[in-house]
Structure 1
Amino acid sequence: MKIRYLLSTFLFLSLFMHLTVEWIVPFCETTSSYWYLANKRKISSNAKVLVLGDSQIVSGVTPNLVAEIEGVTVDEVLYLPKPSQQPEGILADSLEVIQKFPKLKRVYVNLSPLNTSKNSVTDANRQLFFSFGNFSLNTIAHPLLRKAYFPNLTDLSWKWIIELFPYFGLSSNLNRLVYDPIAQMDIPRRKQEFQYIDESMEMSQGSWIWKSIGDDPTLNDLEEFPNHSSQILAGKRDLSILIWFDFLRLWNQQNVEVIFLRVPFSPKMEKDILKTKANLVADEFFKTITSDANQKKVAVFDFKSVFLSEYQYFGDLTHLNQKGRDAFSKILKKKLFDHTHSSSEGM
């Protein structure tokens, strides 16, 4: 009788949490809201072009732009970037869509020091996956994904617990609301951002100027960027590089071209990255894949130096604002249009 009562209680709690979690997510920080709403993206079965990556893509590259470059309809662009995304998430998403969309001919993805090194974004991505990520067989069966997400049974058990009781996935957000006055004061803005992200999912597959709630945030060129603070990005995360190579192998087997983009950071950040040589790992990876005769369907477009003086093009240290997106769109169209159409002729 006690066991039955206990099971009934757990079932009720699980059902209650699943039914009410959407009321609580708007109080979470921006990245959590985006990941939660990304699960509601409308996905077309006609996709010919896939777009993956992190919030730099979300803020800087739109499905409409990709459709224009590729000469396809927006309905034929599958747009799946997520903030704080890492190569393990990009590989997991690739494995999910590769069988569902046989018409895919090209994949766009961004690679930068943020997803080749071990840094705070790496840890954030793991927590976001546990809280909101798709718990698929691939994340357990694929050895590299298993190493990234479930290196031990404790992690696997924790993901199961969050799947059953989703409030646990929001715990870090909710805890801060209890003790952090800054988080409490930020609630009205968080709720507005949730609405704007929700609208972006409905209207443009999640393309959204980062942190914009109807305005165009602009970075102040007087804002301090501590010298050598990008030093942590100079290290190489070996698992990330292994996953990137596996990502390429996967799409190469499908005869699908991969286009790597290096989306620019803000001027002071890019200049500091030059000092700390944080670009070396990504540059070495790009050099390896473009010089490999077996990698015939891969291209690299590096734009890290295009906006070294244009502070007004950035909403913060890492994201383009609307002015920046417009300027970057012109550059992308000029650089990629001839490549994509000449490549398509050979397909």
Structure 2
Amino acid sequence: MKPLYLLCTFILLSLFMHLTVDWIVPFCETTSSYWFLSNERKINSNAKILVLGDSQIVTGVTPQLIAEMEGVTTDEVLYLPKPSQQPEGILLESLEVLQKVPKLKKVYVNLSPLNTSKNSVTDANRQLFLSFGSFSLDTITHPLLRKAYFSNVTDLSWKIIIKIFPYFGLSSNINRLVYDPIAQSDVLRRQKEFVYIKDSMEKNQGSWVWKFIGDDPTLDVKEEFPPNSSQVLSGKRDLSMLLWFDLIRLWQERGVKVVFLRIPFSPKMEKDILKTKANLVADEFFKTITTEERLKESVAVFDFKSEFLEEYQYFGDLTHLNQKGRDAFAIILKKALFDHTHSSAQGM
């Protein structure tokens, strides 16, 4: 009877967690809430434009802007970025989506030192995937995805445990609420952010000015960015580069054009990145994909890292545009795309 008793206990515990996890997530930090709610996004099979990337896309580019630039309806834009996203997550999303959207013509995605190097965001992305990401066959069968997510049996076992008992995926968030006074004082804001993120998922496919809960956040020009802090971003993560090239191969095989965006960080961060040469890996990648003859017609790069080197008022924090910055960036992006399209047409 004891094994049966344990089995029933585990089943009831799992059921309880699945039924109540929605009540716990609003107490989690912003990125976890976003990943959890992003699972509610619907895939429109008639989509023609796909948008992927991290929180710079979430806060900087809207589905409405992409629709306007591409001359399609907003419903024909499939908007799937996630904060802390890395190339492995973008590849996984692409593999899952390409089979469902046969009319897809173009992909917009952002690339920066945050997703070409090994840094804290890389580790955060892996934990977010284990806690909230889809557990598809591709994560096991694709060698690069398997290396990124399940390099050993322990990782795979942990993912299975979280799928059965979802509270384990929230453990780091819940633990901090117990011992961290800063996390405890942030609870009310987290709950408000959850509501705003949920609203953005329902009305705008998840496009949301980072940390917006009714007031446009603005970066204080006096906020410090410790010198040489971007040094960690200057190294090359070999797996990231393999993933990016595999993504281009995948999109090209499907006849999908790709637009890479380099969205600006805040002035002090961009100047520090320039000082530590943290742009070199991304710049080298951009140069490679724009000079290869076979990619010239299918890949475009728009690099805006030098656009807002003095405009502190355009940023909500060190890495994200605010609403004012989003509006200013939209004007620049529309002009760049128009000029690119016009010059391409003239070249023909």
Q: Does the pair score TM above 0.5?
A: yes
The within-5 A match list for 1:234-245 is 234-245=234-245
Which range is displaced more, 162-171 or 41-50?
41-50
Looking at structure 1, the residues matched to 228 and 344 of structure 2 have their Cα atoms a distance apart, in angstroms, of: 40
What is the match of residue 4 of structure 2?
4
Looking at structure 2, the residues matched to 340 and 101 of structure 1 have their Cα atoms a distance apart, in angstroms, of: 24
CA drift at 1:342:
8.0
What is the SS of the residue equivalent to 1:294? helix
Q: How big is each residue's C-alpha offset from its partner over 1:30-51, in whole Å with a ceiling of 9 and x where there is no partner?
A: 0000000000113322100000
Looking at structure 1, the residues matched to 73 and 153 of structure 2 have their Cα atoms a distance apart, in angstroms, of: 44
What is the match of residue 316 of structure 2?
315
The within-5 A match list for 1:296-335 is 296-335=297-336
Looking at structure 2, the residues matched to 81 and 189 of structure 1 have their Cα atoms a distance apart, in angstroms, of: 23
Q: Is the 8 A contact 2:230 2:272 kept in 1?
A: yes
Looking at structure 2, the residues matched to 109 and 175 of structure 1 have their Cα atoms a distance apart, in angstroms, of: 34
What is the match of residue 50 of structure 1?
50
What is the match of residue 27 of structure 1?
27
CA drift at 1:338:
4.7
What is the match of residue 277 of structure 2?
277
CA drift at 1:90:
0.2
CA drift at 1:339:
3.7
Give the number of equivalent residue pairs: 346
Looking at structure 2, the residues matched to 307 and 152 of structure 1 have their Cα atoms a distance apart, in angstroms, of: 43
Structure 1 stretches of 4+ moved >4 Å: 340-346
Looking at structure 1, the residues matched to 273 and 84 of structure 2 have their Cα atoms a distance apart, in angstroms, of: 19
Looking at structure 1, the residues matched to 123 and 57 of structure 2 have their Cα atoms a distance apart, in angstroms, of: 20
Which amino acid is 2:186 matched to?
A: D
Looking at structure 2, the residues matched to 259 and 190 of structure 1 have their Cα atoms a distance apart, in angstroms, of: 33
Looking at structure 2, the residues matched to 191 and 46 of structure 1 have their Cα atoms a distance apart, in angstroms, of: 34
Residues 131 and 343 (structure 1), Cα distance of their counterparts in 2 relative to 1, 3 Å cut? farther
What is the match of residue 186 of structure 2?
186
Which amino acid is 2:115 matched to?
A: N
CA drift at 1:343:
7.0
Q: Is the 8 A contact 1:130 1:162 kept in 2?
A: yes
What is the match of residue 38 of structure 1?
38
What is the SS of the residue equivalent to 2:126? helix
Q: How big is each residue's C-alpha offset from its partner over 1:248-293, in whole Å with a ceiling of 9 and x where there is no partner?
A: 0000001110100000000000000000000000000000111111
CA drift at 1:2:
1.1
What is the SS of the residue equivalent to 1:203? helix
Percent identical among aligned pairs is 78
Residues 4 and 24 (structure 1), Cα distance of their counterparts in 2 relative to 1, 3 Å cut? same
Looking at structure 1, the residues matched to 299 and 142 of structure 2 have their Cα atoms a distance apart, in angstroms, of: 23
CA drift at 1:230:
0.3
Which range is displaced more, 262-271 or 329-338?
329-338
Which amino acid is 1:334 matched to?
A: K
Report whether the alignment pairs 1:96 with 2:110: no
- TM-score normalised to structure 2 length: 0.97
Which amino acid is 1:217 matched to?
A: P
Looking at structure 2, the residues matched to 14 and 95 of structure 1 have their Cα atoms a distance apart, in angstroms, of: 30
Q: How big is each residue's C-alpha offset from its partner over 1:75-111, in whole Å with a ceiling of 9 and x where there is no partner?
A: 0000000000000000000000011101000000000
Looking at structure 1, the residues matched to 4 and 70 of structure 2 have their Cα atoms a distance apart, in angstroms, of: 58
Q: Is the 8 A contact 1:70 1:341 kept in 2?
A: no
Which amino acid is 1:56 matched to?
A: Q
The within-5 A match list for 1:158-307 is 158-295=158-295, 296-307=297-308
Question: Runs of 5+ in structure 2 lacking a partner?
Answer: none
Which amino acid is 1:328 matched to?
A: F
The within-5 A match list for 1:63-142 is 63-142=63-142
- TM-score normalised to structure 1 length: 0.98
Residues 135 and 343 (structure 1), Cα distance of their counterparts in 2 relative to 1, 3 Å cut? farther
CA drift at 1:4:
1.0
Q: Is the 8 A contact 2:45 2:102 kept in 1?
A: no
What is the SS of the residue equivalent to 1:59? helix
CA drift at 1:345:
12
Q: Is the 8 A contact 1:131 1:170 kept in 2?
A: yes
Which amino acid is 2:304 matched to?
A: F
What is the SS of the residue equivalent to 2:107? strand
What is the match of residue 16 of structure 1?
16
Q: Is the 8 A contact 1:41 1:201 kept in 2?
A: yes
